Amino acid sequence: MSTRGAVVALLVLLAVAVAAWALVTTEAEAPVLPGADEATLPREVRAVLERETERRMAKGYTPRTRHIGPDGRPLFTNRLVHSASTYLLQHAHNPVNWFPWGDEAFALAEKLGRPVFLSVGYATCHWCHVMEEESFEDPEIAAFLNAHFVAIKVDREARPDVDRIYMTAVQAVQRGGGWPMSVWLTPDREPFFAATYLPARDGDRGGRKGFLTILTEIDTTWREHPDEIAGTAASLTAAVRENLKPSPDSGLPGPEAAAAVVAWAKERFDAVNGGTVGKPKFPSNLPLELLLSEGARGDAEALAMARTTLDHMAAGGLYDQVGGGFHRYTVDEAWAVPHFEKMLYDNALLARAYAQAFQLTGDLRYAAVVDETLTFLQRDLGMDRGGFASALDADSAGPGGERVEGWAYTWTPAELREALGADADGFIATYGVTDAGDVDGRSVLRFAAPPTLEARREHTRARLTLQLERRKRPAPLRDDKILVGWNGLAIDAFAYAGWLLGRDDWTDEAASTAELVLETGADGRLPHMLGPVGHEGTAFLEDHAYLLRGLLTLFEATGDPRWLVEAKALEGQAHAHHGDATGAWFQAPDDHAGLLVREKPSFDAALPSPNSVMIENELRLAALTGDDTYRARADAIASGLPIGRVPQAFPVAVLALDGRHTPLEEVVLVKGPDQRASDLKAALKRAHPAWRVLIQSTGDDALAGVAPPADGKVMLDGQPTAYVCRGGVCDRPTTDPAVLAELVTRRAR
């Protein structure tokens, strides 16, 4: 070998040695979590976590932890750094050796003979943040947890099936629930102890026992009294399975169910503030859409209840008087002081309810709330890639950098005077701002009583000024995960409001969001969540149900057959993986393994039950296609829910079943490609949307192939023409808006 060749070979060997040394050094220097060891956090795993952190930081990622080294890098990293969930990423640099939910964690617990600690929360949860700061960021607590348990962190919004199972355990143990959820499991996933928020140490926040003491006691009992643990786990697991087992076939509820729900609501109605009597006050506690439907039928009291509730919610602190949109609930009876987080699903559902109220009453105040709420969704939750983020946090950074609940939304008189100048005094008086304030000396903006439309508009310039002022403050954290189901609710709201109020831009928003969330994963299945780097998880029943509702509304709003084709395909996928011919459908798909029980979602709550929405969807599909298979599926789902026993727990299902007892009207509106049918559409808008389906046709054969009720429907005398049918039997076609209005409102008589 030549001298030059020897030198080259030596340099190559040297380079290889340096690279190997660098790799070993990187692995050796990768952060070791306190209390973790090679068995629970191998060196090669630490190296991978370190590289993933570096990759994210190179793209502007900011680790969310107080454990930061002088170089700005986090001192600790755990397996959650690989997640697409905002909530899990919040915990990726805790000193806790967190695992995501999955077989790896439970296999390790089995191998090591340790119990599992399961913590469930979500990104905008105030008390989840508190427990993180107090316990999960504490190295001493983390060291004990890492040395004696296998710790799993779950985002309840990413795994609603896991959340529901173990929340049932929490409720069985302490007769109440909430987040953060803290549950201890055997390696077989059976719960044996459960709680919610726990202070870090004995005496903290007035608690007798802190989290560290409870961990110590459970570890001792696990090692010294395994039979006691096994007995408790068996008993609690049996209770969970009993609670979540499918209901027996109770038969199809009759029309009397609606009357029972309305009677129940009337008994509990808060005549002063709207909603139900008591606190805290949630918008979902009163069946607003059912009350509006009954009001349209002539029940004046039901309509007044709905309007009182809608008026007071929009006037109070529940509603963001500056930026639009609704907070999650209020802590008082008068809708005055909210818990400040803002959820996509709340705002989509409330925009729909206010749009229905406008459709029924013509009150422009409701249209204004719809406008401001959908504008909020686009401005604050709209993602650059399309679709909508899940939520805004209740907390934001205060003047000292500390996280303070509601800081972004509250004001002092001095702040308003500085921002508004001469207009401040009138604004302060109108919106109830005081020196004492509502939260830590700061006031929530609200009206003393529901204002007129003119009063709402009076301070428009001031509200715009305050929007600009608010943008100077640190913004609340936004949970950027795109949940397919919640985006389905947004599609529904934008499509319906766009059609009702003539806002093509809103209909376009619905269509572009549908395009985004219909992109399937590599397996051709609908995903549950769209993260920043791709799809994550397989869809749950709620994703299919809520997206299907949105697609059907989008089809009715646009007449584009593509959306009905997509809806039929989505229903088929849902039936294949979640359906049960003998009853209600399952939340988790048929190939989700490792669950104690496969739950069938039941009651309507802050989110409507996916099974209730599927009843609605199946009946709409039956009317749009003429296929009775869908109607039979709606009957089976309804029969498998205990609606007859507790109808007040199923207002969404009860309203949907109205379209079963009195068949939905199939309205076919035919016009030329370049024609407008404004007068006929205006007449059609007088009908409650739960009473009919709409097919907009331009005589296209492709549409008739997808929606058979459109087949053979033509214009009369070259004018836009409406056909109103039931079960394929049609009234005489009409070009007269007055005649159409009579036909579509006959349920009210």
- The separation between the first and the last C-alpha atoms of the chain, rounded to the nearest angstrom, is 103
**Structure confidence by residue, pLDDT tens digits, 151-165:** 999 999 999 999 999
- Domains 31-244 and 665-748 alike in fold: yes
Of residues 90, 97, 94, 98, the one with CA closest to residue 138: 94
Q: Is 547 left (phi over 0), alpha (psi -120 to 50) or beta?
A: alpha
What is d(CA 443, CA 593) in angstroms, rounded to the nearest whole number? 49
Any idea which fold 665-748 has?
Answer: Glutaredoxin (3.40.30)
pLDDT at 96 over 80: yes
What is d(CA 290, CA 124) in angstroms, rounded to the nearest whole number? 30
CATH number of 256-394+479-661: 1.50.10.10
Segment among 59-63, 128-132, 264-268, 338-342 with least mean pLDDT:
59-63
Measured from the Cβ of residue 218, the count of other Cβ atoms closer than 10 Å reads: 18
**Structure confidence by residue, pLDDT tens digits, 324-355:** 999 999 999 999 999 999 999 999 999 999 99
- Confidence class for position 20, pLDDT limits 50, 70, 90: very low
**Structure confidence by residue, pLDDT tens digits, 373-406:** 999 999 999 999 999 999 999 999 888 888 899 9
User: What class has domain 31-244?
Assistant: alpha beta
3-state helix, strand, coil in the chain (%, to 5): 50, 10, 35
Q: Where are the domains of the chain?
A: 1-28, 31-244, 256-394+479-661, 403-475, 665-748
SS3 call for 518: coil
**Structure confidence by residue, pLDDT tens digits, 655-686:** 999 999 999 999 999 998 888 888 999 999 98
